[in-house]
Amino acid sequence: MIGPFEENSIHCVDSYQAIKRIPDKSIDCIYTDIPYLYQQGGSGSSELGERTAKKRLRLMGYDDSRAALNGMTYGEMLKQAKRGECEQQGQSIEKGIDYAILDEFCRVLKKINVFIWCSKLQLLDIMKYFIDKKGCLFELLTWNKTNPTPQTNNSWLPDIEYCLFFREKGVPLNDGYELKSKWFVSGANKSDKDKFEHPTIKPLQLVTRHLQHVCGGGHSYLTHSLGAEQPA
C-alpha cells in the first residue's frame, strides 16, 4: 500500500485530490500525460476532433438522446466541446492544468524523477518550474508521428508530441543504446484509440522504453493522469 492506495492497481479518482493522500517521498517515478493547452487559431480556437468531443460529452453524461446543459441542444454542446469551451468539474477541458500539482509531484517523489507529456504552449512554464526553481536536469523527448491528423488550416502538421523529463541530481539512468534515444517514430494507433476509447493514447513501446531508462525492479511508479478520461 502507498497511503490508502493498493499498489499495482488503477484508481479512478480525482487526481488533484488523490495525490494529497500519498505520503511524502514514497514514489520513485511519476509518468503523466496532462491535459494539453491548445493554441488559439485565427477562428478563435483550435478545434478538437469530433470523436474526442463526443467522448468528453459522453463522460459528462450527455449524448444526443438527452436534453443538454443550459438549454443548449446536443449539437450546440458538441460545437462548444470541440472549441474547448465545455466544462467538466468546473474546469475547461482545454485550459491545461493547475501548476500547483507540480508541488505535489515533488512532495511525493523520493527524488525528482518525472515524465510530463504536454503541448508546446506548456513547455516554458513547466521547464521554468523544474529547472529554475528546482535545479533539475532535463531532456526534451519527442514522439514523431508518421500519420498525423491532416490539419492544414494555416498551421504546421501536428506530427510531434513532446514529453519533458526532469531528474534531480543523483538520479541514475540505466544503460542501453536504444533506451537513450530522445525521439521515437511510429504511427498513431487508431485501433488502440477505438479499443480503449482514449483520444491521446501513447505507444506502449515508447512508455516502456522511457521507464526502463530510469527505473528498476522494486521501484514504485505513479502514472498520474490529469485528463478528463484518465484515472490516477
Q: What distance in Å separates the CA atoms of residue 46 and residue 64, rounded to the nearest whole number?
A: 23
Q: Which residues contact 191 (CB under 8 A, 6 or more apart)?
A: none
Of 125, 119, 134, 131, nearest to 98 by C-alpha is 125
Domain ranges (residues) in the chain: 15-37+96-223, 50-92
Distance CA 224, CA 29 (A): 10
HSE, side-chain direction, 13 A CA sphere, residue 219: 19
Q: What is the pLDDT along the chain (232 residues), one digit of tens a residue?
A: 787 787 877 777 778 888 999 999 999 999 999 888 765 543 333 445 566 666 666 666 666 655 555 566 767 777 766 665 555 444 444 556 788 999 999 999 999 999 999 999 999 999 999 999 999 999 999 999 998 877 667 778 889 999 999 999 989 888 888 788 999 999 887 777 777 666 678 888 999 899 988 876 667 878 877 543 333 4
Burial pattern 120-150, b for ≥16 Cβ within 10 A else e, equals eebeeebbebbeeeeebeeeebebebeeeee
Q: Which CATH number fits domain 15-37+96-223: 3.40.50.150, 3.30.160.340, 3.60.40.10, 4.10.490.10?
A: 3.40.50.150
Using CB atoms within 10 A of its CB, is residue 48 exposed (0-12), middle (13-18) or buried (19+)?
buried
**pTM for the structure as a whole:** 0.76
Could you tell me the three cell numbers for 206? Answer: 515508447
Count of Cβ atoms closer than 10 Å to residue 157 Cβ: 11
